[in-house]
């Protein structure tokens, strides 16, 4: 059977593949601890559930405007301006099926065959494949202990470079980029006429008093070249709702909206009502969630530092652990190490090769504190 070259060349998401393996083991009765996916486990806020139930009862079960419910686009534009300093009118916002589809659609709108897209590495598994799906070529730019370095970006630039994908707070390194780091990248992007696609899925999860800086907030010129991608998934535990959004220059949002019109039409109408309710939650909800993950970060970093060389996560939901000291004999790489952890210890983590960096493991701390403790104990016993 002949598949398209696009489909044949696409790598499966390693996270989803391992996740299926965890599901298979669990179905077979194994008690697996998963520190694999970045999926917040705190409950969805009651007003969000009530809004969805209310929307269902009042008949919000039909197609709705492809670009998103007008009242949700308006609430997102307000949030972007007030919380992130990103200038956006409701028409500059496109509601998407999660950040994942926002990213896909933005790249479809901005790049194509012959173009190169710079991505700081290590990176989230989906970035290179979303670039590939647009027909362009992903180019990983090395970072130093998770920090982006303008010289490294400059070295990778050529006449084909069209865009840079940024992700702060970062999956997998936990780095939260500073204003100065972002300004240096933006300066380069301005000089070379590059788009910035900024994935801010973990924007509300920053630790030790760090502030999240949206690249599009760095001034009018920055806003003109940046597409901001955010989501309800991580900030509000709404992963299954599949509601995210992008915002950016009107022409880009219009193009992305046309693509979405043919791709999916609207995002689930009643789920969007949940998003609307989430944006009206009181500030305590935000702080309670952030603080819970900061506590888990402390726990995971404390336990992880005993087994690996770890970067202290500044934000997000992952610990990036250098596991090279454990790679020897019949465990030559982190694929083998992750396999050993799953087979011997029934604990799942992601090998760093999935993020473009062999020798490391990505360990999620979005699980419960009990699971984090048990997960590290199992890893230690399996070594
Ligand atoms: C950096 C990053 N962006 C986006 C997503 C997906 O977000 P959503 O659930 O909104 O598609 C994830 C989740 O795994 C992520 O790590």
Per-residue HEC secondary structure of 253-284 comes to HHHHHHHHHHHCCCCCHHHHHHHHHHCCCCHH
Q: Which of 95, 104, 105, 126 to mutate to test the pocket of ligand 1 (most atoms within 8 A of CB)?
A: 126
Strand order across the 309-311 sheet: 309-311, 318-322, 360-364, 350-351
Please name the CATH architecture into which domain 5-43+284-382 falls: Alpha-Beta Complex (3.90)
Phi and psi at residue 379, in whole multiples of 5°? -60, -45
Query: CB–CB of 36/349 below 8 Å?
Result: yes
Written as six digits, the tokens of 378 are: 């199992």
For atom 7 of ligand 1, which residue has the closest CA?
99
CA of 231, closest atom in ligand 1:
10
pLDDT at 261 over 90: yes
Confidence of residue 317 (pLDDT cuts 50, 70, 90): very high
What pLDDT, on a 0 to 100 scale, did the predictor assign at position 141? 97
Whole-number Å distance, alpha carbon 3 to ligand 1 midpoint, is 27
Instruction: Report how far ligand 1's centroid is from the alpha carbon of 211 (Å).
Output: 20
Measure 100 CA to ligand 1 centroid, in angstroms.
Answer: 6
Look at residue 102 in the predicted model and tell me its pLDDT: 98
Q: Is the pLDDT of residue 12 over 80?
A: no
Backbone torsion region of residue 196, taken as left when φ is above 0, otherwise alpha when ψ lies between -120 and 50, otherwise beta: beta
Q: What pLDDT score does 13 carry?
A: 79
What is the per-residue pLDDT for 25? Answer: 92
User: Which pLDDT band holds residue 17 (cuts at 50, 70, 90)?
Assistant: confident
- Span from the CA of 201 to the centroid of ligand 1 (angstroms): 6
Give the binding-site residues of ligand 1, using a 6 Å CB cut-off: 38, 98-100, 124, 167, 171, 199, 201, 231, 233, 239, 244
Ligand 1: which residue has its CA nearest to atom 3? 201
pLDDT in tens, 288-310: 999 999 999 999 999 999 999 99
Contact 35, 371 (CB under 8 A): yes
Write the residue with the smallest CA distance to atom 15 of ligand 1. Answer: 201
Q: Whose CA is nearest to atom 16 of ligand 1?
A: 171
Q: Which CATH class is domain 60-278?
A: alpha beta
Domains 5-43+284-382 and 60-278 share a fold: no
- Any idea where the domains of the chain sit in the sequence? 5-43+284-382, 60-278
Shortest-distance atom of ligand 1 to CA 170: 1
Mean pLDDT score across all residues of the chain: 96
- Mean pLDDT within 149-172: 96
Structure tokens belonging to residue 57: 């009862």
């Amino acid at each position: 059977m002949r598949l398209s070259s696009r489909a044949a060349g696409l790598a499966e998401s390693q996270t989803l593949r391992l996740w299926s393996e965890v599901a298979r083991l669990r179905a077979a009765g194994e008690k697996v601890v998963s520190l694999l996916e970045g999926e917040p486990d705190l409950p969805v806020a009651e007003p969000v559930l009530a809004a969805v139930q209310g929307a269902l009862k009042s008949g919000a079960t039909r197609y709705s405007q492809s670009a998103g419910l007008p009242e949700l686009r308006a609430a997102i534009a307000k949030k972007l301006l007030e919380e992130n300093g990103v200038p956006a009118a409701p028409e500059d916002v496109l509601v998407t099926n999660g950040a994942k589809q926002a990213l896909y659609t933005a790249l479809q709108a901005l790049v194509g065959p012959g173009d190169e897209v710079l991505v700081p590495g290590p990176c989230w598994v989906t970035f290179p494949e979303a670039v590939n799906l647009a027909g362009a070529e992903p180019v990983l730019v090395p970072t130093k202990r998770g920090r982006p370095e303008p010289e490294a970006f400059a070295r990778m630039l050529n006449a084909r470079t069209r865009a840079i994908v940024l992700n702060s707070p970062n999956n997998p390194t936990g780095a939260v980029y500073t204003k100065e780091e972002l300004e240096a990248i933006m300066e380069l992007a301005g000089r070379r006429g590059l788009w910035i696609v900024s994935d801010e899925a973990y924007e509300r999860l920053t630790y030790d008093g760090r502030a999240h800086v949206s690249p599009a907030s760095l001034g009018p010129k920055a806003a003109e070249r940046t597409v901001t991608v955010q989501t309800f998934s991580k900030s509000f535990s709404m992963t299954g709702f599949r509601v995210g959004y992008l915002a950016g220059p009107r022409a880009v949002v219009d193009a992305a909206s046309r693509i979405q019109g043919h791709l999916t039409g609207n995002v689930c109408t009643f789920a969007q009502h949940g998003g609307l309710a989430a944006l009206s939650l009181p500030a305590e909800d935000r702080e309670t969630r952030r603080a819970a993950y900061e506590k888990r970060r402390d726990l995971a970093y404390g336990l992880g530092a005993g087994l690996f060389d770890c970067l202290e996560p500044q934000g997000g939901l992952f610990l990036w652990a250098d596991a090279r000291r454990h790679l020897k004999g019949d465990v030559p790489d982190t694929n083998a190490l992750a396999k050993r952890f799953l087979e011997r210890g029934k604990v799942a983590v992601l090998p760093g090769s999935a993020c473009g960096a062999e020798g490391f493991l990505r360990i999620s701390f979005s699980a419960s504190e009990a699971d984090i403790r048990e997960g590290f104990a199992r890893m230690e016993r399996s070594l």
